[in-house]
Structure 1
């Protein structure tokens, strides 16, 4: 038997692999939101474009990011499921993120800025799909709620912390100093991914088989022998795979939940900076800090909500979350509308900040619910037919569905929100999102699972 690599015990541990996957997910979403508060500076000061073009260029840049991430996801997932090795795809995704980030940072023209974001989008899509696949490969099913709750906390923290860090660093230290933050994060991510030893990197059949029940992945990967008459099903690929999965109404409800959350977050990215500059005259620092109101409650409550889902299921917590989200979104539109006691001054600021904090506290109830439901349903399908998704499982293709859905929201959110703000007002936009949240609450109450995973 060959000697084990240095540090094999901790490098191959579930805790370190989950840490590496979560760090990667955080990095991808951090890079997505990093330019949000400084985009107006990049367009107006660095590229010398007129301020009248800032809103539509912001919308176009964020929309294109969602489009390229969405379009590349199924292709990435197809090839990712052809191999059991997660490290190489993760490293390639990281290299792409670093390249795209460098192009965005040094951009001297509009086309270079869009090119950098396109590369970031494709690489981020790969990191998202393979990262979540790595996560689920190393989580036992009874802990899925806590693990995904924690992971989604860091995913949302990345989206929100990116703008916050950028706004603070740009105003305090300057443009180039601010870009040190994403590159330091990418460096940490690179080291962690090099150190990680996945369960398929150095595999001993005797030891792995003996511990297979204890270390069972979230998505079962039992492979049948061609001569086994009871397990003679064949792998579903291409349109057949997606047709089977997407014909389940429970999955449609899950994807609707995921789409709506992405629509709201990306809509905020496209409209909040300019709205806050208009009504409160805020610069990059306070605009970046306002996103802290969503981040802190979500980080604290994410694992708690995951624990709750493990015990009571998805239906009721998610429904309550969307019902509460509707009025809180409407609160954000109150400052600056001429209401007597909510002016453009301190009262309006208090109401807006309070609304953001409350949304941050409610967000964990809806965030990640779609992914949780998708995993639960596909777990049922694979339990009935273990070879349905092929010898290496179908986790990459499953998460490509979440990636496509999330990025469809990321693509349409800036278009939808930006168009309503341009044509009507920010207040009208958040009220519209509130009404849509109630519709999603109804779908969640009707179709999301009310059983906890242990009973399933």
Structure 2
């Protein structure tokens, strides 16, 4: 059941919001932030697992595009809405919006209908079905032919699990290089996005004398490209995520490096900054939906190679997205520290080109491992081609 953890996470968020709203000491702020982190962990892990449970796998990247759209919009619109409300309504006005969102979230989680709760209807053309003697279908007759009697089936020994298959799912998942690449890409994605939190508002204030409102509006340049996230997800479902993820990090690399050219106050410099941020937003949109969908595909591939049910009734989706949440949280921690420290000691230009270098490095593992090992896929294609020629 996914609803209860979601409601508990929301309760933690409400408590954190109240504490941060009324806090007058550092200790209360720290506890409030910890509760926020717990709530975020619950929402990410359970929410993405719920999505993986519900959405057909061949459409998963498309729906992850909506998740990416919502997540990036929240990250980037937060400073804008906070800046506007703080300027117009004061400190408590910002928190009023938070309480409103929590109330809406509470209603949505209450009305949530999980897939397992949906009524299952089986239309029968020949009339009502006798629950004790259901009509024999083509599938059931085929199964009966394959299994002539129950005793012979029961007498067959159940294959024993190897010692590696007895390990908790989290360990077997971490043994996958494909998953490690997806987690690394998630760390980099979060690092690049979160880095703006510590350096972009300070930079535009120092360079253009922009306040909180102008800085918040500037974040729209990164948000607007994410509107095409569902489209990118759809294309990723159709053609695979390898080239989209690699293209996203490859595009982000020069865009971050070119940010160092913005160094003085002029109209051209402001236009250049906006254009570069738009392309960075587009780059993040190319990679993020397919990377999130990749995690589900990895779990599905792992389940096929293990005995049925070895990952438990609900599978390993929640554990896999728990690892994703850890990776993304690590990136949101590393990004502001990385960018803030480098900007403070070496300047804006150095901070941006190092982020570009990080993005460029990520292209290589994405090309090799997203959608599975490119070497193994090539070997399979060659073997299939040889088989076709032989036949």
Query: What interval of TM-score do these two structures reach, taking the shorter chain for normalisation?
Result: 0.7 to 0.9
Following the alignment from structure 1 to structure 2, what is the Cα–Cα distance between the partners of residues 391 and 360? Answer: 38
Following the alignment from structure 1 to structure 2, what is the Cα–Cα distance between the partners of residues 244 and 229? Answer: 25
Q: What is the CA deviation profile of residues 126-169 of structure 1, one whole-angstrom value per residue up to 9, with x for unaligned ones?
A: 11111111111111112112111111111111111111211122
Following the alignment from structure 1 to structure 2, what is the Cα–Cα distance between the partners of residues 450 and 136? Answer: 19
Relative to 1, partners in 2 of residues 1:155 and 1:286: Cα closer, same or farther, differing over 3 Å? same
Query: Secondary structure of 2:115's match?
Result: coil
More deviation, 191-200/283-292: 191-200
Q: What is the CA deviation profile of residues 183-203 of structure 1, one whole-angstrom value per residue up to 9, with x for unaligned ones?
A: 111111100111112233577
Relative to 1, partners in 2 of residues 1:251 and 1:284: Cα closer, same or farther, differing over 3 Å? same
Residue 435 of structure 1: which of 345, 357, 378 is its match? 357
- Is structure 2 residue 47 aligned with structure 1 residue 119? no
Following the alignment from structure 1 to structure 2, what is the Cα–Cα distance between the partners of residues 423 and 237? Answer: 49
Residue 58 of structure 2: which of 142, 166, 178 is its match? 142
Q: What is the CA deviation profile of residues 414-445 of structure 1, one whole-angstrom value per residue up to 9, with x for unaligned ones?
A: 22112111211121011001111111011111
Relative to 1, partners in 2 of residues 1:292 and 1:229: Cα closer, same or farther, differing over 3 Å? farther
Relative to 1, partners in 2 of residues 1:200 and 1:161: Cα closer, same or farther, differing over 3 Å? same
- The Cα shift of 1:355 comes to 1.1
Following the alignment from structure 2 to structure 1, what is the Cα–Cα distance between the partners of residues 318 and 172? Answer: 16
Following the alignment from structure 1 to structure 2, what is the Cα–Cα distance between the partners of residues 99 and 320? Answer: 41
Following the alignment from structure 1 to structure 2, what is the Cα–Cα distance between the partners of residues 161 and 226? Answer: 60
Query: Secondary structure of 2:27's match?
Result: helix
Q: Is the 8 A contact 2:233 2:290 kept in 1?
A: no
- Which structure 2 residues correspond to residues 243-262 of structure 1 after superposition, within 5 A? 243-262=171-190
Q: Alpha carbon RMSD of aligned pairs, Å?
A: 2.8
Following the alignment from structure 1 to structure 2, what is the Cα–Cα distance between the partners of residues 169 and 332? Answer: 29
Following the alignment from structure 1 to structure 2, what is the Cα–Cα distance between the partners of residues 331 and 180? Answer: 39
Residue 405 of structure 1: which of 303, 327, 335 is its match? 327
- Contiguous gaps of at least 5 residues in structure 2: 124-133, 135-152, 374-391
Q: What is the CA deviation profile of residues 332-360 of structure 1, one whole-angstrom value per residue up to 9, with x for unaligned ones?
A: 22222xxxxxx323222111111111211
Map of 2:385 onto structure 1: none
Query: Secondary structure of 1:400's match?
Result: helix
Q: Is the 8 A contact 2:253 2:355 kept in 1?
A: yes
Following the alignment from structure 1 to structure 2, what is the Cα–Cα distance between the partners of residues 151 and 96? Answer: 22
The count of residues paired between Structure 1 and Structure 2 equals 347
Q: Is the 8 A contact 1:313 1:450 kept in 2?
A: no
- Is structure 2 residue 71 aligned with structure 1 residue 155? yes
TM-score, normalised via structure 1 length: 0.71
- Which structure 2 residues correspond to residues 292-331 of structure 1 after superposition, within 5 A? 292-299=220-227, 301-331=228-258
Q: Is the 8 A contact 1:255 1:405 kept in 2?
A: yes
Relative to 1, partners in 2 of residues 1:197 and 1:435: Cα closer, same or farther, differing over 3 Å? same
Following the alignment from structure 1 to structure 2, what is the Cα–Cα distance between the partners of residues 311 and 246? Answer: 27
Relative to 1, partners in 2 of residues 1:382 and 1:255: Cα closer, same or farther, differing over 3 Å? same
- The Cα shift of 1:391 comes to 1.8
- Is structure 2 residue 279 aligned with structure 1 residue 358? yes
- Is structure 2 residue 198 aligned with structure 1 residue 264? no
Following the alignment from structure 2 to structure 1, what is the Cα–Cα distance between the partners of residues 203 and 155? Answer: 65
Q: Is the 8 A contact 1:234 1:390 kept in 2?
A: no
- The Cα shift of 1:109 comes to 2.2
